[in-house]
Amino acid sequence: MKYIAQLVNVNSILNKKILELEKEIIKSKEEIKKNNNILWNSCDHDWVDQQDSLMYEKSTYRCSKCKLINDYRLYTIRR
């Protein structure tokens, strides 16, 4: 029975750790999104074809300076 209680305690600790890490991931993603928005609006972009698309796909362009993909929908903050 003592072993079961230990496992329950370990699971509780691990679940708390997972929640903390998930919060940190969400916070980091929000900061990246904010930074990308600033980069999109302030970088003097130099678009370069990535040449990674398939024959029937639209080409992908990436800025050689800030590394953003040329698609404003990815970087505009929605309210």
Whether 11 shows a pLDDT value over 90: the answer reads: yes
Which residues touch 34 (CB under 8 Å, ≥6 apart)? Answer: 77
Mean pLDDT of the chain: 91
Which residues touch 65 (CB under 8 Å, ≥6 apart)? Answer: 43, 44, 45, 46
Average pLDDT estimate for 37-59: 84
Average pLDDT estimate for 4-15: 97
The answer to whether 41 and 19 have CB atoms below 8 angstroms apart is no
